[in-house]
Amino acid sequence: MQVPFLDLKPQYKALEGAINARIQTVLNHGQFILGPEMLEAERDLAAYIGTKHCLAVSSGTDASIIALMALGVGPGDEVITTPFSFFATAEVISLVGAKPVFVDIEDTAYNLDVAKIEAAITPRTKVIMPVSLYGQPADYDEINALAERHGLVVIEDAAQSFGAPYKGKKSCALTRVGTTSFFPAKPLGCYGDGGAIFTNDSELNKKMEMIRVHGQASRYNHVMMGVNGRLDTIQCAVLIEKLKRFDWEIAQRNRIATAYNEGMGSLGHRCVVPRMRADRGSVWAQYTVLVDNRDQFAADLKARGVPTSIHYPSLLPHQPVYRELGLSAGSWPVAERVSARCISLPMWPDMTDEQVAHVVKSVREVLGA
């Protein structure tokens, strides 16, 4: 049996009529930029997450750039973040001219370790930007309290965690600003690049809205530097329909994660399954385990028709460009250990029971269980 790593086709099949009709409406009215579906999607997304405002933007990367620009983060400033994430997390900090300061992760959910943040705060620190990795929120109550004591802003990089529950709230609404991505493979994806910014701060939202369109306050009246960061109306139309299925999809992802945990949890240290904090949930952007001899494990699974992927094989400060910028000196022992052992298994909402069972059986066989 061959299992794909991710298969978005069944999802489209389920929503085909509704999505096609929505796209056709946009084709008919012709407002491809800032059309009515954008406002509708923003209203739906803000209502779902529980924030006052939502701005639909061109990508998760642009969402974070716009948030940082609106907060006035730039040259001379430092932003504390994790060394264990997708490159964009640090890239956006560097792009606005600030310096990423990498703080090690904790060993349960592999998110920023609150206990290690304080030692990294300097007079130049302006923002703490945690990532809710693989879909599980970081320790936002503690991080927000720490930030408040030091007069810092917290931005959640929620690119992998849109809507994940945390103490009665949802990821994207846990900090002053939350940014997410609608890249097709993310928990809520559109049919191209896309992203969104969430906040309850109306003044900040106004500023971010202007930055999204070239710092424009009114037509051809530019009051600050901005970017071209709008989300196409067609992508918004897709999101409106896909959001309606999202809760069902997350329930499916949880069902699959539970089956994986039950099938592999008994393997102990040979296959360390994801550990969940009792006060939060995950939207399972990835189901990632830790194994020894990862290359052999991946090859043996591939031979059984089970593809894998590595999130992430090296730390951000160890990327060539950060070596060049002189940011690679430092020690992140937990992130290094996790990065050397992590491997993600197939996970998407429309996985069949047979596919899930085949992945579990294959992992157990490969590990000699």
Quick one: CA dihedral 118, 181, 301, 356, positive or negative? positive
Element (H, E) at 41: helix 36-49
By CB under 6 A, is residue 61 in contact with ligand PLP? yes
Residues 169 and 283: their CA atoms lie apart, in Å, by 14
Shortest reach from residue 81's CB to ligand PLP, in Å: 10
By CB under 6 A, is residue 89 in contact with ligand PLP? yes
CA dihedral 353, 356, 360, 361 (to 10 degrees): 60
By CB under 6 A, is residue 181 in contact with ligand PLP? yes
Please calculate the CA angle 211-42-228 and round it to the nearest 5 degrees: 25
Stretch that binds ligand PLP, among 55-63, 95-103, 120-128, 135-143 (CB under 6 A): 55-63
Shortest reach from residue 359's CB to ligand PLP, in Å: 22
Nearer to ligand PLP (CB atom), residue 183 or residue 260: 183
Nearer to ligand PLP (CB atom), residue 155 or residue 360: 155
By CB under 6 A, is residue 195 in contact with ligand PLP? yes
Element (H, E) at 263: helix 233-264
By CB under 6 A, is residue 229 in contact with ligand PLP? no
Backbone angles phi, psi at 79, to 5 degrees: -125, 120
- Say if residues 179 and 60 touch (Cβ distance below 8 Å): yes
Shortest reach from residue 356's CB to ligand PLP, in Å: 24
Residues 107 and 193: their CA atoms lie apart, in Å, by 32
- Work out which of 60, 189, 229, 317 binds ligand PLP, going by CB under 6 A: 60
By CB under 6 A, is residue 69 in contact with ligand PLP? no
Stretch that binds ligand PLP, among 37-45, 83-91, 121-129, 301-309 (CB under 6 A): 83-91
Residues 65 and 82: their CA atoms lie apart, in Å, by 17
Residues 317 and 102: their CA atoms lie apart, in Å, by 7
Shortest reach from residue 133's CB to ligand PLP, in Å: 7
> For ligand PLP, what does the binding mask look like between residues 122 and 161, x meaning CB under 6 A?
---------x-------------------------x-xx-
Stretch that binds ligand PLP, among 12-20, 57-65, 242-250, 262-270 (CB under 6 A): 57-65
DSSP letter string, 305-328: T---B-S-SS-GGGSHHHHHTT--
By CB under 6 A, is residue 183 in contact with ligand PLP? yes
Residues at the site binding ligand PLP, with contacts judged by CB under 6 A: 59-61, 85-86, 88-89, 131, 157, 159-160, 181, 183, 193, 195
